[in-house]
Chains A and B, each alone.
Chain A
Amino acid sequence: METTLITTETCCIQYNIEPSFIDALEEFELIHITVQEQQKYIHPDELHDLEKYIHLHYDLNINMEGMDVINHLLHRVKEMQTELIQLRGRM
């Protein structure tokens, strides 16, 4: 099944966000943007993360640097949770 990419404009309209917000997310490597014929697209799989960053930025007033830090910490939390489950299983 072919995946339909979503234009960044569509995301800006649907989520009521500024294009510069998406550009900044890409700059911080928080989401990945695909460019085809000068048009920017977001893969549907990235929408989950995009929505997360919209909540963090617009609802919680967290800036890009803060979201980058949160992203790293959440990865660590996830790794530690996985390790905890494994360790519990061994006990």
Chain B
Amino acid sequence: MAFIDYYKVLGVDKTASADDIKKAYRKLARKYHPDLNPNDATAHKTFQQINEANEVLSDPDKRKKYDQYGENWQHAEQFEQAKQQQGYAGGAGNPFREGSFSGSYGDDGDFSDFFTSMFGNSGGSSRGRNVKFKGQDYNAELHISLREAATTHQHTLTVNGKNVRITVPAGIANGQVIKLKGHGGAGVNGGPSGDLYITFAIADDPAFKRNGNDLQMNVPLDLYTAILGGEVMIETLTGKVKLKVAPETQNGTTVKLKGKGFPVYKQENASGDLLVTYTIHLPTHLSDAQKELFKQLRDLKD
């Protein structure tokens, strides 16, 4: 557990006034506030650090204790005990109307080990504004394969110790968010429960690339089939399909298989297309006889 320089976090001097701290905190909060940086984990983490620094430096008691012990924070507990013996009441309120932020960020209450060891779990004690009515919203990420995303299937998630069973409709998109109403934290003072937001992360598939509802795949073709035409067996999402290859097919030619792509989200029996791109493989390790025949072909061309 490392010492945290809260002055450095807020970018202020150790002699900064309460007003300087408030100003610095607000400036940084405007930049890193989670409501202004959606889906940005780095900003969220930075905001928590700023919040923690403000929690300490904006509270005269906490700041005093922090200044006094600083890097020798390990002795803070002894300090507390000594104070309690002297009848210290502790925990005075924040002088500012605006406390730290609280509310709907899920892990907003996470303070560093350093903070907890020095101040206990008192984070948020000085928060001025009551934003606890609706329960906390929870965020979860569900990783599924492309093939799983192509079928309607069920998943069981464990959120805060509770099992939540969900049905994932076929055709869900990468990054799509599903809201499960009321599956977040409990409300306060009769407020409604928070919601559970599940973000889907769909892994890349070695065979298919997805573009909306269309799928794209590369199929190798040998030179002779490409030139003379023939048939090739391919594996689509729903099974094997035999494709007719036209004579003199060029490298990179794409053919479209209607309805063999990805299922359309919440539209039964509707699917995108499968785009098959041929990659022609030239023969190697030719025998003398084969080389001779190629020479004859070249001469015929001239």
Instruction: State in angstroms the CA–CA spacing of A56 and B175 once bound together.
Output: 26
Question: Cβ of A16 and Cβ of B210 under 8 Å apart?
Answer: no
Question: Cβ of B130 and Cβ of A14 under 8 Å apart?
Answer: yes
Q: How far is the CB of A11 from chain B (nearest CB, A)?
A: 7
Instruction: State in angstroms the CA–CA spacing of A60 and B132 once bound together.
Output: 18
Instruction: State in angstroms the CA–CA spacing of A54 and B133 once bound together.
Output: 13
When C-beta atoms are compared, the residue in chain A nearest to B201 turns out to be A85
Q: Mark A64-90, 1 if CB is under 8 A from B, else 0.
A: 000000100010011001100110011
Question: Cβ of B192 and Cβ of A44 under 8 Å apart?
Answer: yes
Question: Cβ of A74 and Cβ of B174 under 8 Å apart?
Answer: no
**What is the interface of chain A mostly: helix, strand, loop, or mixed?**
helix
Q: How far is the CB of B23 from chain A (nearest CB, A)?
A: 11
Question: Cβ of A48 and Cβ of B137 under 8 Å apart?
Answer: yes
Question: Cβ of B174 and Cβ of A15 under 8 Å apart?
Answer: no
Question: Cβ of B38 and Cβ of A59 under 8 Å apart?
Answer: no
Q: Is A55 an interface residue (CB 8 A)?
A: yes
Instruction: State in angstroms the CA–CA spacing of A48 and B191 once bound together.
Output: 12
- Give the contact-size bracket for chain A: 20 to 34
Q: How far is the CB of A71 from chain B (nearest CB, A)?
A: 10
Please indicate the chain A residues that have their CB under 8 angstroms from the CB of B133 in the complex.
11, 14-15, 47
Question: Cβ of B36 and Cβ of A70 under 8 Å apart?
Answer: yes
Question: Cβ of A55 and Cβ of B26 under 8 Å apart?
Answer: no
Which of B12-20, B96-104, B219-227 forms contacts with chain A? Answer: B96-104
Q: Is B244 an interface residue (CB 8 A)?
A: no
Q: How far is the CB of A46 from chain B (nearest CB, A)?
A: 10
Q: How far is the CB of A49 from chain B (nearest CB, A)?
A: 10
When C-beta atoms are compared, the residue in chain A nearest to B100 turns out to be A59
Q: Is B72 an interface residue (CB 8 A)?
A: no
Question: Cβ of A15 and Cβ of B192 under 8 Å apart?
Answer: no
When C-beta atoms are compared, the residue in chain A nearest to B133 turns out to be A14
Please indicate the chain A residues that have their CB under 8 angstroms from the CB of B38 in the complex.
74, 77-78, 81
Which of B27-35, B63-71, B248-256, B282-290 forms contacts with chain A? Answer: B27-35
Instruction: State in angstroms the CA–CA spacing of A47 and B103 once bound together.
Output: 11
Question: Cβ of B130 and Cβ of A59 under 8 Å apart?
Answer: no
Question: Cβ of A74 and Cβ of B129 under 8 Å apart?
Answer: no
Question: Cβ of B174 and Cβ of A86 under 8 Å apart?
Answer: yes
Question: Cβ of B129 and Cβ of A90 under 8 Å apart?
Answer: no
Q: Is B131 an interface residue (CB 8 A)?
A: yes
Q: How far is the CB of A51 from chain B (nearest CB, A)?
A: 5
Question: Cβ of A44 and Cβ of B134 under 8 Å apart?
Answer: yes
Could you say which of A16, A60, A78, A90 contacts B130, with CB atoms under 8 Å apart?
Answer: A16
| 23 residue pairs bridging A and B, Cβ less than 8 Å apart | A10-B190, A14-B130, A14-B133, A14-B189, A14-B191, A16-B129, A44-B134, A55-B35, A55-B131, A58-B129, A59-B33, A59-B129, A60-B33, A62-B30, A77-B38, A78-B38, A81-B38, A81-B175, A85-B173, A85-B175, A86-B211, A89-B209, A89-B210
- Top 4 A-B pairs ranked by shortest CB distance? A14-B133, A85-B175, A47-B134, A44-B192
Q: A15-B129, A89-B210, A90-B211 are in contact. List 4 more A-B contacts (CB 8 A).
A: A6-B192, A47-B192, A51-B103, A60-B30
